């Protein structure tokens, strides 16, 4: 299912036909993406993206999350994902990345906002979490702009190639979103 963000931006569930363009996008932005994404070096070709898409489709079929291509004016510029869906506790988490030259335009903030609306209004969940590396100020700015509460810090929460990074945990509840 596609989620329309605005006249220029949409979220489209990733499909196999997206694999070549998604790999080309990642390959062209390796240096930028590698700073905070630990899977970049393991992404060596289109086959790796096809495996990612197959996993995303499987999670979608099991109602356990999905990944969306972030499309701007008809071209893919990033990915936004709904991670594990905890249906018992009515919560999920969101992850995202965007190519460097599209940062700072409000595109990702608008996309995440639309996904949150979908999570709360259509899926009926109660809580969304976003985790960002402490040093990743641009990613951290998104939940901060969208009214998330900074709930804590996870020390050495992620292994990033040759070192650990700490994560900030942000949470947003459905009733807080409605007030915002």
**pLDDT in 10s for each residue of the chain, 180 residues:** 899 999 999 999 999 999 999 999 999 999 999 999 999 999 999 999 999 999 999 999 999 999 999 999 999 999 999 999 999 999 999 999 999 999 999 999 999 999 999 999 999 999 999 999 999 999 999 999 999 999 999 999 999 999 999 999 999 999 999 765
- Do 112 and 54 meet the contact criterion of CB atoms below 8 Å apart? no
Q: Are the C-beta atoms of 154 and 167 separated by less than 8 Å?
A: yes
DSSP helix/strand/coil, 118: helix
CB-based contact 132:94 (threshold 8 Å)? no
CATH superfamily, domain 3-179, is Gcn5-related N-acetyltransferase (GNAT) (3.40.630.30)
Residue 179's pLDDT is 64
Q: Are strands 91-98 and 127-133 parallel, antiparallel or unpaired?
A: parallel
Question: Which residues, in sequence order, are CB contacts of 153 under 8 Å at separation 6+?
Answer: 134, 166, 167, 168, 169
> What's the CA gap between 108 and 78, in Å, rounded?
9
Is residue 73 within 8 Å of residue 103, measured between CB atoms? Answer: no
Q: Please give the pLDDT value at position 45.
A: 95
Q: How high is the pLDDT of residue 178?
A: 72
What pTM did the predictor assign?
0.95
What is the number of alpha carbons within 13 Å of residue 103 lying toward its C-beta?
16
Q: Tally the residues of the chain.
A: 180
In a 3-state reduction of DSSP, which class is residue 91?
A: strand
């Amino acid at each position: 299912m596609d989620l329309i963000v605005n006249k220029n931006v949409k979220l489209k569930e990733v499909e196999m036909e997206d694999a070549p363009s998604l790999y080309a996008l990642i390959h062209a932005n390796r240096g930028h993406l590698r700073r905070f994404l630990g899977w970049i070096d393991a992404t060596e070709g289109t086959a790796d993206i096809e495996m990612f898409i197959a996993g995303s489709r499987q999670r979608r079929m099991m109602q356990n999350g999905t990944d969306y291509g972030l499309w701007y004016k008809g071209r893919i510029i990033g990915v936004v994902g709904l991670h594990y869906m905890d249906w018992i506790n009515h919560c999920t988490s969101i992850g995202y990345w965007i190519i460097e030259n599209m940062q700072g335009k409000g595109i990702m903030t608008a996309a995440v906002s639309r996904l949150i609306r979908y999570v709360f209004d259509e899926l009926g969940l109660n809580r969304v979490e976003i985790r960002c590396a402490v040093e990743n100020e641009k990613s951290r700015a998104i939940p901060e702009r969208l009214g998330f509460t900074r709930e804590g810090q996870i020390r050495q929460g992620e292994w990033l190639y040759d070192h650990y990074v700490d994560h900030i945990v942000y949470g947003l509840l459905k009733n807080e979103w409605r007030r915002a």
